[in-house]
Amino acid sequence: MEQAVADIKAGADDDQIWLLEHPPLYTAGTSANARDLRNPQFPVFETGRGGEYTYHGPGQRVSYVMMDLKKHMQTPDIKKYIWMLEEWIIRTLAEFDVRGERREGRVGIWVVMDDGTESKIAAIGVRIRHWITFHGISINVNPDLSHFGGIVPCGISNHGVTSLHALDKNISMQELDEALIKHSEILTRSIRSL
């Protein structure tokens, strides 16, 4: 990822979106609080992205977005970029009749559960260097949700974590990828119009 960002900055490569799946691990963002690492049953990696602790593992789609915001925005704006990542997730989830929502003061995308509680279905953690973005988003398709118990996800302890399969949306990773690709143009087309 570091090399891709350097190549984009140098003009030697184009913007990139990577879709991948990690083995079970925890990552710590720049705001991670050590007391939120409750039971580190998997390796913990320090990252340069924003945010706190999160879990990545099988059944979760991680997407790293590396793009030059100066090419896509008249005035580069981190908040607008985060909004577009959120919108990308929301539109992707809508393909499967899942209503993803933003919440003031809470990073990520949330769904209202049948009992009225709210659970996080997608996380966002980015870094921007010289207006080149990296890191990105993760969407829970069918991970082992108990693995989130080793941390306080994103520092939020009073809400749960869910997945598409937990919402009875038994889609495949390929189906999610197709929806992500379909809606990825929002990251460039809509940013230009902001």
Between CA 46 and CA 20, with CA 68 as vertex, the angle to 5 degrees is 50
Question: Residue 59: exposed, middle, or buried by beta-carbon count in 10 A (0-12, 13-18, 19+)?
Answer: middle
Beta bridge partners of 118: 112
Radius of gyration of the chain (CA): 16
52's CB contacts (< 8 A; 6+ apart) are 28, 29, 31, 32, 33, 36, 152, 153, 154, 155
Catalytic residue among 32, 141, 154, 167: 154
**Catalytic status, residue 171:** no
Query: Which residues are tagged catalytic?
Result: 154
